[in-house]
Chains A and B, each alone.
Chain A
Amino acid sequence: MKARKIKELISFTILRLATVAVLLALFIILHFITSEGIRVINWEFLTEGPRDMARAGGIFPAILGTFYTVVGTMAIVLPLGVGASIYLTEYATQGRVIRALRVGINNLAGVPSVVFGLFGFTVFVVFFGFGASILSICLTMAVLTLPIIIRSSEEALKAIPQSFREASLALGATKWQTIYKVVLPHAFSGISTGSILGASNAAGETAPILFVGATFFMLHLPDSIFDETMLLSFHIYALLTEGIFPHYQIPIAYGTALVLITLILSVNLVAIVIRNRIRKKKKW
């Protein structure tokens, strides 16, 4: 009896140590970025453009570029993704068609990010002639985030009780009226938190945008969607791989990385807090 207890204790301790090691890795990474990054961040760093071939100055154009990318991507992908999820939850019945659609969505989610970059380059930059531009970046990122948005809004739609739909249909509403007037308004908060999470992922992606419109150093801010742009994620990569002054560039990379993960983590946190609050409030 005692031997059993000891065995259990040892096993649980090993499991706990493994989990603690994972948390420790997270802590080390965050600490590494924060402790070095905080030194270079000041008002000028956040509000001014780079100077001396990105050896000095700030990262404002990259912050703006990431903001444009996220907003543009969401403007394209949200209607498509939410529409797709409406079909999957409200219209489709189990069978071969829905199985095929799901296989398509799952496999699109599994495509390596750099492959999206090649696809975006061939289709948007070259074939449609949008060039290396914000538009090409947003379209490429929209394809990449489509499965994420479909999945999260599907979850939001599924969370609405069937009785709501039945009540609406019983009152004589059509399927579309039910979706438009009953399902979507109730799913709104769920869909928006899901898409905030999708958007924050889009902000961090680097590989897909390497060849479709990201640039290292710009003297002016982009003034149309056909302009190239700087981006936070690409800026880190470029600071580490381009240029010939690593001594000046690496501190800026730390600062950029800190800004990027602060943005992503705080947006995530807000979305999670909102989601938990909704869950507590809505008990149907």
Chain B
Amino acid sequence: MKRELKENIIRNFFFFLASLSIFCLVGIAVVLIKEGLPILEEVTLGEFIFGEIWSPIFEPPAFGIFPIIIGGLAVVFGALTIAVPFGVAAAIYISEVAHPKEKEIVKPTVEVLATIPSIVYGFFGLVFMAPLVRDTFDIPVGLNVFTASIVLGIMAIPIIASISEDAIASIPNSIKEASYALGAGRWETIIGVIIPTAVGGISTAVILGFGRVIGETMTVALVAGGAAIIPTSIFDPVRPMTATIAAEMGEAAIGSPHYFALFGIASILFGITLTTNIIADILLHRFRRKLTGES
């Protein structure tokens, strides 16, 4: 009896530790909403999200974050335009084309890209990529949507590549063998069988990549240019949500409208990443079920 009691206590203790992640997640949501909600005493929700002027420290202040949201999305879509084709191509190459010896070198090397800290990418973008873009396109400043997209795109490649590769690897061999048995070549099998089967997993990769890129902070804080305007060209500077928080949190007094507005931005950002993660989770489950159902 005593032994059982002890076992039960231990079991419950581990259960408590396992549920800490949920507590933290809920805690984050509560903090963001509690500190972000008071901004709605200054402006309406519509004015906050769709207002076109962000000037929190001028008198009278304006708390419109529309340029910040649009600027952030512009950089994210730019980054994915680079990361998705390269990431998926690298995944296909590593899993289906490369010689096993070659794979042993290429795969960990691509993973090294993921271990480089974002501040180093930002530094690289600021000191190397921005002057390059400025001189190549003959524009006055190299810190803009285009440069930020390239640097963020490179950062996102290993994420897209590794999830896509998992998706391709999880396709049962029998499906590929059936294709070969029907006389298809390697490339025909890739384009006709492997990619269509893995598309669920690859779309999960894209969605997770979206969530990761929109939350990226240091790179855009250094490279995106920092102007809270709605971009009309890819060479316009922008100030994404994360960059706004990183740059302004230090100067916003606790309890001021500016402080609440920054938490309001963080709440929206949190909402976006939570939604994308849940969608990705559902898609991944569906993909796995489809695979086991078919094989």
Interface residues of A (CB under 8 A from B): 4-5, 7-8, 11-12, 14-16, 18-19, 21-23, 25-26, 28-29, 32-33, 80, 83-88, 90-92, 100-101, 103-108, 110-119, 121-123, 126, 143, 146-147, 150, 174-176, 200-201, 203-207, 210-211, 233, 236-237, 240-241, 250, 253, 257, 260-261, 264-265, 268, 272
Are B269 and A236 in contact (CB-based, < 8 A)?
no
- Nearest Cβ on chain B to A200's Cβ, whole angstroms: 7
Interface residues of B (CB under 8 A from A): 3, 6-7, 10-11, 13-15, 17-22, 24-25, 27-28, 31-32, 35, 85-86, 89-90, 92-94, 97-98, 106, 108-110, 112-113, 115-124, 126-128, 154, 157, 161, 185-188, 190-191, 208, 211-212, 214-218, 221-222, 242, 245-246, 249-250, 254, 262-263, 266, 269-270, 273-274, 276-278, 281
The residue from B86, B93, B118, B161 contacting A207, defined by CB atoms under 8 A apart? B118
The residue from A15, A101, A107, A112 contacting B18, defined by CB atoms under 8 A apart? A101
The residue from A29, A107, A207, A237 contacting B116, defined by CB atoms under 8 A apart? A29
The residue from B19, B120, B278 contacting A260, defined by CB atoms under 8 A apart? B120
Are B25 and A108 in contact (CB-based, < 8 A)?
yes
Q: Mind listing 26 A-B residue pairs with CB under 8 Å?
A: A21-B86, A22-B161, A25-B113, A25-B157, A26-B112, A29-B154, A80-B20, A83-B14, A107-B25, A112-B214, A112-B215, A112-B216, A112-B273, A114-B217, A114-B245, A114-B246, A115-B28, A118-B266, A119-B31, A143-B24, A146-B21, A146-B24, A176-B7, A207-B218, A210-B249, A264-B117
Are A4 and B185 in contact (CB-based, < 8 A)?
yes
- Nearest Cβ on chain B to A76's Cβ, whole angstroms: 11
Q: In the assembly, what is the distance between CA of A268 and CA of B242, in Å?
A: 28
Are B218 and A126 in contact (CB-based, < 8 A)?
no
Chain A residues with Cβ under 8 A from B122's Cβ?
237, 240
By secondary structure, the B interface counts as helix
Known A-B contacts A114-B245, A206-B117; the reply to A240 vs B274 at CB < 8 A is no
Q: Of all chain B residues, which has the CB nearest A150?
A: B21
Are B120 and A33 in contact (CB-based, < 8 A)?
yes
Q: In the assembly, what is the distance between CA of A114 and CA of B221, in Å?
A: 11
The 9 closest A-B pairs by CB, nearest first: A112-B215, A204-B117, A83-B17, A104-B22, A18-B89, A207-B217, A87-B14, A87-B18, A8-B187
- Nearest Cβ on chain A to B250's Cβ, whole angstroms: 7
Are A210 and B250 in contact (CB-based, < 8 A)?
yes
The residue from A12, A19, A261 contacting B187, defined by CB atoms under 8 A apart? A12
Are A236 and B270 in contact (CB-based, < 8 A)?
no
Q: In the assembly, what is the distance between CA of A264 and CA of B119, in Å?
A: 13
Are A29 and B120 in contact (CB-based, < 8 A)?
yes
Q: In the assembly, what is the distance between CA of A34 and CA of B254, in Å?
A: 41
By secondary structure, the A interface counts as helix
Q: In the assembly, what is the distance between CA of A33 and CA of B18, in Å?
A: 40
The residue from B7, B28, B127, B187 contacting A7, defined by CB atoms under 8 A apart? B187
Q: In the assembly, what is the distance between CA of A85 and CA of B15, in Å?
A: 10
Are B215 and A176 in contact (CB-based, < 8 A)?
no
Are B17 and A112 in contact (CB-based, < 8 A)?
no
Q: In the assembly, what is the distance between CA of A123 and CA of B93, in Å?
A: 46
Q: Of all chain B residues, which has the CB nearest A144?
A: B24
Q: Of all chain B residues, which has the CB nearest A121?
A: B249
Known A-B contacts A115-B215, A240-B222; the reply to A261 vs B24 at CB < 8 A is no
Are A123 and B278 in contact (CB-based, < 8 A)?
no
Are B277 and A118 in contact (CB-based, < 8 A)?
no
The residue from B7, B15, B32, B276 contacting A115, defined by CB atoms under 8 A apart? B32
- Nearest Cβ on chain A to B243's Cβ, whole angstroms: 9
Are A272 and B108 in contact (CB-based, < 8 A)?
yes
Q: In the assembly, what is the distance between CA of A233 and CA of B218, in Å?
A: 10
Q: In the assembly, what is the distance between CA of A117 and CA of B185, in Å?
A: 52
Known A-B contacts A119-B31, A257-B123; the reply to A108 vs B24 at CB < 8 A is yes
5 extra A-B contacts, CB within 8 A, seeds A23-B110, A101-B21, A122-B35: A8-B187, A22-B110, A87-B11, A207-B217, A236-B120
Q: In the assembly, what is the distance between CA of A148 and CA of B19, in Å?
A: 15
Q: In the assembly, what is the distance between CA of A88 and CA of B22, in Å?
A: 14
Q: Of all chain A residues, which has the CB nearest B127?
A: A250
Chain A residues with Cβ under 8 A from B19's Cβ?
101, 104
Are B120 and A204 in contact (CB-based, < 8 A)?
yes
Chain A residues with Cβ under 8 A from B126's Cβ?
240
Chain A residues with Cβ under 8 A from B35's Cβ?
118, 122
Are B186 and A8 in contact (CB-based, < 8 A)?
yes
Q: Of all chain B residues, which has the CB nearest A100?
A: B22
- Nearest Cβ on chain A to B94's Cβ, whole angstroms: 7
- Nearest Cβ on chain B to A70's Cβ, whole angstroms: 13
Of the listed residues B10, B119, B211, B245, the one surrounded by the most CB atoms of chain A closer than 10 A to its CB is B119
Q: In the assembly, what is the distance between CA of A28 and CA of B120, in Å?
A: 13
Are B119 and A204 in contact (CB-based, < 8 A)?
yes
Known A-B contacts A111-B270, A112-B242; the reply to A264 vs B113 at CB < 8 A is no
Q: In the assembly, what is the distance between CA of A176 and CA of B8, in Å?
A: 10
Are B92 and A15 in contact (CB-based, < 8 A)?
yes
Are A112 and B21 in contact (CB-based, < 8 A)?
no
Q: In the assembly, what is the distance between CA of A87 and CA of B16, in Å?
A: 9
